[in-house]
């Protein structure tokens, strides 16, 4: 289960958040280059957070196709060792309408396991769109 709420509401209810959202962004490109949307979305999210690729400890990147995943990792300059460390959508599944929650929960629990501070979740949402969220623990 994934529950998002304002910090104030969590405090009111006595809930200790597993992670907090530091930054997020969406982007859209020409639909002919579908699959590449996470690149500009991630760049925007990093800029808004005042971070660089080197500040990210773990990445969960939704990828429907291996070639798409390879181009995103290459062009963003991420260390492949921190990407989808338990397998990605090709291995774990690509549930339409649930990918965002699956990716975020997978990222949070792996960050807890590794005591990682900063994580990035990205999604290619088809038609040239992409989104990215940076979380902290």
Q: What percent of the chain has pLDDT over 70?
A: 100
118 forms bridges with which residues in the sheet? 136
Report the chain's terminal Cα–Cα distance, integer Å: 18
Q: What is the pLDDT of residues 71-120, one digit of tens each?
A: 889 999 999 999 999 988 777 777 777 788 889 999 999 999 999 999 99
**CB neighbours of 27 closer than 8 A, spacing ≥ 6?**
37, 39, 40, 41, 44, 129, 130, 131
- Tokens at 9, concatenated: 């509401």
Q: What pTM value is reported for the model?
A: 0.92
Mean per-residue pLDDT of the chain: 91
CA 63 from chain centre, in angstroms, equals 11
More confident residue, 124 or 94: 124
Backbone angles phi, psi at 130, to 5 degrees: -150, 155
Structure confidence at residue 67 (pLDDT): 80
Higher pLDDT, residue 1 or 11: 11
Cα 55 off chain centre by: 14
Compute φ and ψ for 113, nearest 5 degrees: -60, -40
Q: Between residues 1 and 128, which one has the greater pLDDT?
A: 128
The confidence score (pLDDT) of residue 9 equals: 95
Place of tokens 């990215």: 132
**Domain edges within the chain:** 20-136
Cα 13 to the chain's mean position, in Å? 27
Beta bridge partners of 83: 59
| pLDDT band of 132, cuts 50, 70, 90 | very high
Task: Specify the CATH architecture of the domain 20-136.
Answer: 3-Layer(aba) Sandwich (3.40)
pLDDT for residue 11: 95
């Amino acid at each position: 289960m994934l529950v998002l709420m304002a910090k104030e509401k969590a405090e009111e209810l006595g809930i200790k958040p597993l992670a907090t959202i530091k930054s997020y962004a969406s982007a859209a490109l020409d639909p002919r280059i579908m699959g590449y949307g996470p690149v500009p979305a991630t760049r925007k999210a990093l800029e808004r957070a005042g971070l660089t690729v080197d500040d990210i400890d773990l990445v969960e990147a939704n990828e429907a196709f291996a070639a798409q995943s390879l181009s995103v990792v290459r062009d963003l300059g991420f260390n492949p060792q921190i990407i989808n460390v338990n397998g990605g959508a090709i291995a774990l599944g690509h549930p339409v309408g649930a990918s965002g929650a699956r990716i975020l929960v997978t990222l949070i629990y792996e960050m807890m396991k590794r005591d990682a501070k900063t994580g990035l979740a990205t999604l290619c949402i088809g038609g040239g769109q992409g989104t990215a969220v940076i979380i902290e623990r």
